[in-house]
Structure 1
Amino acid sequence: MRDGAEEEYVEYVTARVPVLRRLAYVLTGDGHRADDLVQQTITTLYLKWPKARVADNIDAYVRTMLVRGYVDEKRLAWSKVRLFRQLPEPEPVEEVAAILGCSGGTVKSHTSRGLAALRRLLPPRIEVPR
């Protein structure tokens, strides 16, 4: 970039990152994903800065870039993948049903009734504000 455009870009991004991060967090619901989305947006903005800096409403232009980046990400198959620290355990109902000599549905219904009875005996949960 030339003619002070890079300084304008840095000044704009420095001022707008907190607002962009809040918008990204509202969209993603996750701080890490929001940071990634903002990083992607400001990188794309750097490449398009000559066009963006002369836009009538640069804030709307950049917000549109961020939202479109989010929508594009949601369309990708990998965005549906959830990573876990360890593999989730398979449901043991069928194993229990085989041991007890009954159906999986019977095990589920008895388990549900048993948990409901325990909940009635326990004091109500107290929610701790975060």
Structure 2
Amino acid sequence: MPPEIRLDFEAYARARQQQLYRIAYLLCGDTHRAQDLTQTTLTKLFQHWRRASRADNLDAYAKTVLIRTFLSEQRSRRRERELHTPIAAGPGADQPEVRIALLAALAELAPKARAMVVLRYWEDQTVESVAAQLRCRPGTVKSTCSRALTRLREILGDAAIYVTEG
């Protein structure tokens, strides 16, 4: 790969690594897995950088790679997922008990539902955007998100009061 293309990728990776990590952490709830997921995503981007760098929206392309990598990993690790216990957020969070409760609740959702909720509500993407990234219909995104939010409310119970305040 020519040096100028490599440098272009390195600049992009440095600029977007934290954003990709945050999304990965929300998806899997584990700092180490989020780091691995981010690294895998950046590796895949590097391998296909010529094509990726020509995308209309490179950030959307990278998020799509991240989400698909996460879903693929979840399918292959289904049994391990049942044993998975999310690790609490690091120190310095404004409301660590809310963050812990939310991450634990997200971990209870199916991987695809979790991905939809993170993209739709954390990343504030449109239904159509989420549907395109996950290769499904907008109606599927709407119904899955609705069921996932209902499930999150059930799981969080009284903790949901704190999530909606402030």
**Equivalent residue for 1:57?**
57
Letter in 1 for 2:37: L
Alignment gaps of 5+ in structure 1: 85-130
Are the counterparts in 2 of residues 24 and 38 from structure 1 also a CA contact under 8 Å? Answer: yes
TM-score (norm 2): 0.47
Are the counterparts in 2 of residues 73 and 79 from structure 1 also a CA contact under 8 Å? Answer: no
**Closer, same or farther: CA 41–81 of 1 in aligned 2, 3 Å:** same
1:1-130 equivalent positions in 2, closer than 5 A: 1-2=1-2, 4-77=4-77, 79-80=80-81, 82=83
Alignment gaps of 5+ in structure 2: 86-166
RMSD: 1.8
TM-score (norm 1): 0.60
**Larger relative contact order (Cα-Cα within 8 Å, sequence gap ≥ 6):** 2
> Offset at 1:83?
7.5
Q: Which structure carries more helix by proportion?
A: 2
Deviations 1:63-112 (A, max 9, x none): 0000000000110146436389xxxxxxxxxxxxxxxxxxxxxxxxxxxx
Partner SS state of residue 83, structure 2: coil
Deviations 1:35-58 (A, max 9, x none): 010010001111000000111000
Identical amino acids, percent of aligned pairs: 39
**Closer, same or farther: CA 55–35 of 1 in aligned 2, 3 Å:** same
Moved over 2 A (4+): 77-84
Mapped partners of 2:84, 2:61: distance in 1:
33
